[in-house]
């Protein structure tokens, strides 16, 4: 079975982050953040991340902003204007509206890892994106790192 990983970088050292990716033989890191120049961890900023992935891990970097939530959905959830259940529904509708299945080749997902900032995947859109893609493209096992 093909593997699709997800990872969050919050509360991880650079060493832990990159060693986890290497140790799981990740081939591609797909950044699904709305803002990939975050100041939460300097190693996770777009340009730094791309360099480190290539030099340290030989992992390809892609930023698929079409897998990111909109600013409105994210803000509404963080400000408690919508529940997690509503967030899930709105985000999944957004993926459908954006026709993300047509924008991704299933072979690129194999041994790829979806990146976001949240430590745990349970209430992060990377989990929703992974489940959505695994449902659309058969044969993927999702592993949260």
pLDDT of residue 117: 86
40 has a pLDDT exceeding 60: no
Mean pLDDT of 120-144: 94
Sheet holding 140-144: strands in order across? 60-63, 28-31, 112-116, 2-8, 140-144
- Interval 42-80: pLDDT, tens: 566 667 889 899 998 999 999 999 999 999 999 999 999
Q: Is 9 exposed, middle or buried (0-12, 13-18, 19+ CB in 10 A)?
A: buried
pLDDT of residue 43: 65
List CB contacts of 37: < 8 A, sequence separation 6 or more: 45, 46
- 100 or 39, which is more confident? 100
Question: Would you place residue 27 in the very low, low, confident or very high pLDDT band (cuts 50, 70, 90)?
Answer: very high
- 82 or 40, which is more confident? 82
35 has a pLDDT exceeding 80: no
Mean pLDDT of 32-37: 77
Report domain extents, the chain: 2-144
- Interval 83-128: pLDDT, tens: 999 999 999 999 999 999 999 988 999 999 999 988 888 889 999 9
Q: Where are the strands (E) in 32-124, listed by range?
A: 60-63, 112-116
- 1 or 29, which is more confident? 29
Task: Return d(Cα 123, Cα 47) in angstroms, integer.
Answer: 26
């Amino acid at each position: 079975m093909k593997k699709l990983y997800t990872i969050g970088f919050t509360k991880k050292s650079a060493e832990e982050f990159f060693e986890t990716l290497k140790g799981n033989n990740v081939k591609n890191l797909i950044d699904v953040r709305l803002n990939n120049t975050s100041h939460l961890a300097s190693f996770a900023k777009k340009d730094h991340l791309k360099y480190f992935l290539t030099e340290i891990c030989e992992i390809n970097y892609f930023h698929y902003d079409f897998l990111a939530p909109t600013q409105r959905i994210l803000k509404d959830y963080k400000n408690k204007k919508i529940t997690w259940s509503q967030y899930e529904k709105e985000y999944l509708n957004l993926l459908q509206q954006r026709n993300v299945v047509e924008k991704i080749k299933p072979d690129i997902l194999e041994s790829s890892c979806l990146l976001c900032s949240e430590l745990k995947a349970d209430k992060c859109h990377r989990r929703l994106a992974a489940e959505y893609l695994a449902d659309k493209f058969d044969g993927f096992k999702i592993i949260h790192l």
